[in-house]
């Protein structure tokens, strides 16, 4: 209580004091560039994925503009120690996604390399995915995909030097005949997502869909 008085939670955009479980104030919320896509329809992200791997459906919650509020929110989650921001973003996502009759069987997160995980202290996708799992009543598995080696984050690389990854990920156990929703924070070149998707697809008669917080 005293900490709340001394260090009140503030809007990431305008610095106005807001409730402790919020990221932005109501006035700034309308400035978030949500995609408003339908999970089951064709969209820009699905087209990008289709060029890299077979995908059933794809959804991005927001656009990742260079100077936009969406970028501030994702960066707060990833680089400012605000792990619980994932819970707020999950609520926004659940409000925008309707699976219809195409509900996935399993939610899978893209893993961090253990070295990066130790440095950050958390995987920014975990609370996000666990909240969605609870709301959608779909099981999750944070351990299915193993990252075999570390590489510089794509968001920090010059686009001309981003390359297709090989053997970046592997499965920790066999999985077959499942519709798996792969979850990540930002879709940039799609190389990371593609590497995860192909590991799942080649495991045996699986299908994949994609959900990301933001499309760059």
Nearest alpha carbon to residue 216 among 25, 89, 33, 14:
33
Neighbour-count burial for 106-125, b at 16+ CB within 10 Å, e otherwise: bbbbbbbeeeeeeeeeebbb
Element (H, E) at 89: helix 85-96
Q: What is the pTM of this model?
A: 0.90
Q: What pLDDT, on the 0 to 100 scale, is given for residue 42? A: 96
Q: Which domain holds residue 89?
A: 34-70+83-215
**What CATH number corresponds to the domain at position 57?**
3.40.50
Element (H, E) at 63: strand 58-63
Interacting residues of 6 by C-beta distance below 8 A, sequence separation 6+:
none
Whether 204 has a pLDDT exceeding 90, the answer reads no
Give domain status of residue 173, yes or no: yes
pLDDT tens-digit profile of 50-91? 999 999 999 999 999 888 999 999 999 999 999 999 999 999
Number of domains in the chain: 1
Mean pLDDT over all residues of the chain? 90
Whether 13 has a pLDDT exceeding 60, the answer reads yes
pLDDT tens-digit profile of 102-141? 999 999 999 998 888 899 999 999 999 999 999 999 999 9
């Amino acid at each position: 209580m005293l900490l709340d008085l001394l260090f009140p939670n503030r809007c990431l955009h305008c610095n106005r004091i807001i409730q402790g479980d919020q990221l932005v104030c109501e006035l700034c919320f309308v400035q978030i560039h949500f995609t408003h896509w339908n999970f089951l329809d064709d969209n820009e992200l699905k087209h990008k994925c289709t060029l890299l791997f077979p995908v059933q459906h794809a959804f991005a919650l927001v656009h990742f503009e260079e100077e936009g509020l969406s970028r501030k929110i994702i960066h707060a989650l990833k680089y400012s120690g605000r792990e619980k921001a994932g819970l707020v973003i999950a609520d926004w996502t659940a409000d925008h996604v309707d699976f219809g009759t195409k509900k996935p069987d399993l939610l899978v997160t893209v893993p961090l390399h253990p070295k990066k995980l130790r440095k950050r202290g958390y995987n920014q996708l975990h609370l996000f995915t666990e909240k969605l799992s609870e709301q959608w009543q779909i099981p999750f598995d944070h351990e299915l995909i193993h990252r075999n080696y570390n590489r510089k984050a794509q968001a920090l690389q010059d686009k001309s030097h981003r390359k297709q990854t090989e053997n970046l990920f592997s499965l920790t156990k066999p999985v077959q005949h499942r519709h798996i929703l792969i979850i990540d924070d930002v879709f940039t070149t799609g190389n990371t997502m593609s590497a995860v998707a192909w590991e799942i697809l080649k495991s045996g008669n699986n299908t994949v869909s994609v959900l990301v917080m933001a499309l760059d």
